[in-house]
């Protein structure tokens, strides 16, 4: 089940509203359950470097069906996934990317946000995600 463009836009609108509330300037990306870009929005004055980071956060969240920050906990030096960022053309494993899961437990895609502190990035991604569902996948089997 892929996110529709209508839903992707709804998520982005909620993310923008939260970004403005926080006085931040964000790049916001939504990918579908195949990790392919569905919609992207760069607010004026957002960092140019955040374009790629927001897209990579969204992809990373779909690649493994979990928040990017969870992967980052495991990829530290000495951790079980150290260096995983080298895969898949480059991952971003700090907070700001969240899977988007519907009421049936199906992952429809993910949202990635970059442009401020990771706390703000995460808050804006959360606002976008909540417009559509949850970030929590059920135990396997889950489908995309």
Residues 108-137 that bind its own copies (CB under 8 A): 117-118
Beta bridge partners of 32: 109
**Does the protein bind its own copies through residue 90 (CB under 8 A)?**
yes
Give the residue carrying structure tokens 């006085």: 23
**Does the protein bind its own copies through residue 138 (CB under 8 A)?**
no
User: CA-CA distance, 26 to 11, in Å (whole number)?
Assistant: 14
User: CA-CA distance, 3 to 100, in Å (whole number)?
Assistant: 9
**Does the protein bind its own copies through residue 91 (CB under 8 A)?**
yes
**Does the protein bind its own copies through residue 143 (CB under 8 A)?**
yes
Give the residue carrying structure tokens 């135990």: 139
Binding site for its own copies (CB under 8 A): 2, 4-5, 23, 25, 32-45, 47-53, 56, 60, 62-65, 72, 75-78, 80-95, 117-118, 140-144
């Amino acid at each position: 089940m892929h996110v529709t463009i209508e839903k992707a836009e709804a998520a982005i609108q909620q993310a923008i509203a939260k970004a403005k509330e926080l006085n931040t300037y964000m790049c916001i990306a939504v990918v579908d359950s195949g990790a392919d870009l569905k919609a992207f929005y760069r607010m004026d004055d957002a960092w140019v470097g955040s374009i790629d980071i927001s897209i990579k956060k969204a992809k990373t969240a779909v690649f493994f069906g979990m928040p990017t920050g969870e992967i980052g906990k495991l990829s530290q030096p000495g951790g079980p996934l150290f260096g995983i960022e080298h895969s898949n053309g480059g991952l971003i494993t700090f907070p700001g990317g969240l899977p988007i899961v519907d009421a049936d437990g199906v992952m429809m895609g993910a949202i990635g946000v970059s442009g401020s502190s990771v706390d703000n990035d995460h808050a804006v991604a959360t606002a976008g995600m909540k417009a559509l569902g949850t970030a929590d996948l059920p135990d396997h089997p889950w489908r995309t």
